[in-house]
Homo-oligomer: A and B are copies of this chain.
Amino acid sequence: MEREAAALENVCRGIALRARQAAQELALMPAERKNRWLLAVAEALEREQASLLEANAQDVATAPAKGLTAAAIDRLKLTPARLRAAAEGLRQVAALPDPVGEIRGGERRPNGLEVLKVGVPLGVIFFIYESRPNVTIDAAGLCVKSGNAVILRGGSEAFHSNTALTRLLRAELIQAGLPEDAVQSVPTPERAAVGWFLRWSDCVDLVIPRGGKSLIERVVAEARMPVLKHYDGNCHVYVDAAADLEMAERIVVNAKCQRPGVCNAAESLLVHAAVADAFLPRIGLLLQQRGVELRGCAETRRRLPQIRPATEEDYRTEYLDLILAVKVVDSLEQAIVHINTYGSRHTDAIITRDLAAARLFVQRVDAAAVMVNASTRFHDGFEMGLGAEIGISTDKFHARGPCGLRELTTYKYVVIGQGHVRE
């Protein structure tokens, strides 16, 4: 048993070392070759659809026995439409500029020394994710385009799907003249394997865990390398005393209902007392018509007596569902303090016509994205002009908000002299 674990650890160590080597080669590859690979994979996904769906069917067949919910099984399922969407995503990534080699700054110093700041890959990314096999495609595409080798650790429930996809991705790497080991997957569902990679900071430059809070907490505790992560998306919409109430209605309905299961959907509504009488009955009706359950403070329930009271816990909760916590606040100040206390620093919006209020909210709310008169749903790499994203960071370090190609890179300084020495 112990000998088996040691053998398995050796296999994983080999993967880590080959990833480090592949990353060194990939870092030098021109954008053209990486784009050729992206387009070839897009084509292969459609060409080899039958065998990919077959592998996926094996996973789906064993999913109920593994205790997956109907929703989880739906996420696990590949369909021709989902494969087409993934292929389309890769074509979009191919069209984005290469962040590697990008000149991010520079100057000629007074002594004639030339200093350039140049984009370079991070190196090796360990990507941990759950269920959805199309994430395998998205993540590999973004990592390789940004010049990074990736080690994929999908959920055991998607093992056959991910194995088939990894095989396809690697075959096309060879075809494109790129290092095959730029994309590898962990060949065992063994939980201990995650721990090994988290220790190998000599080979892994960044870990991105995408999944539940307990997974992320385990990774943060064990990782000896940086972690790029997304905790909660407990997003707020604050309707100011000076709000255009019709605009506020549209935005609140959009932020809550357009796609309630995603991280940038609104979870709490704050309403200034001065407009509570006018706004709460209208928005209550609109939301209830859309099946949203409201939970409110005493002042909210004075205007909407039929809803249930909100607890302290409600204000902290990311429902990811058709539920909304509602609170009446006496001032902009109180709204800001509430958001900075209960929010998760993801996305918060103010609806107002008052420039001073908008400015204060933008300055003082501590979130990756602060919206003025726009739905929280716009906090998204594509909507914000970064192109495809590997996730939204709720961290402040390295990257905040949407993480696209540039956020998967770092930089080096190149300093050019003509024999310069320091006095």
A binding-site residues for B, Cβ under 8 Å: 24, 27-28, 107, 109, 113, 115, 122-123, 205-206, 220-221, 224, 226, 244, 247, 250-251, 253-255, 258, 340, 358, 362-364, 366-375, 377-379, 383-385, 395-398, 400-401, 410-422
Contact = CB atoms under 8 A, between A and B. Distances in A.
A362 B415 CA distance: 9
B417 A384 contact: no
A421 B371 contact: no
A247 B255 CA distance: 64
Contacts of A416: 358, 371-374
17 contacts: A109-B383, A113-B374, A113-B383, A115-B385, A122-B397, A205-B397, A226-B395, A226-B398, A247-B419, A251-B420, A358-B416, A366-B412, A369-B413, A370-B414, A374-B416, A375-B421, A401-B413
A420 B385 contact: no
Main SS class of interface, A: mixed
B373 A420 contact: yes
Given A396-B410, A400-B410, A419 B251 contact: yes
A377 B413 contact: no
A254 B24 contact: no
Nearest to A365: B412
How many identical subunits does the complex contain?
2
Which 9 residue pairs across A and B have the least CB separation, nearest first?
A374-B417, A254-B421, A398-B398, A247-B419, A226-B397, A374-B420, A369-B413, A377-B422, A396-B410
Contacts of A368: 412-413
B28 A123 contact: no
B419 A374 contact: yes
Contact of A113 (B224, B247, B378): B378
Nearest to A369: B413
Contacts of A258: 421-422
A225 to B, nearest CB: 8
Contacts of A113: 374, 378, 383
Contacts of A366: 24, 123, 412
A413 B374 contact: no
A409 to B, nearest CB: 9
A196 to B, nearest CB: 16
A419 B413 CA distance: 43
B251 A384 contact: no
A377 B416 CA distance: 13
Residue with the greatest number of chain B CB neighbours at <10 A, chosen from A244, A251, A255 = A251
A370 B251 contact: no
B340 A385 contact: no
Given A109-B385, A205-B397, A396-B410, A420 B28 contact: no
B379 A421 contact: no
Given A340-B24, A379-B415, A251 B371 contact: no
Given A109-B383, A258-B422, A422-B258, A370 B417 contact: no
A250 B136 CA distance: 52
B422 A397 contact: no
A215 to B, nearest CB: 15
A372 B419 contact: no
A65 to B, nearest CB: 37
Contacts of A205: 396-397
Contacts of A395: 226
A421 B375 CA distance: 5
B220 A422 contact: no
A279 B254 CA distance: 72
Contact of A397 (B107, B362, B377, B398): B398
A360 to B, nearest CB: 9
Nearest to A421: B254
B410 A384 contact: no
A419 B383 contact: no
Contact of A378 (B24, B373, B383, B420): B420
Contact of A371 (B250, B255, B377, B415): B415
Nearest to A248: B419
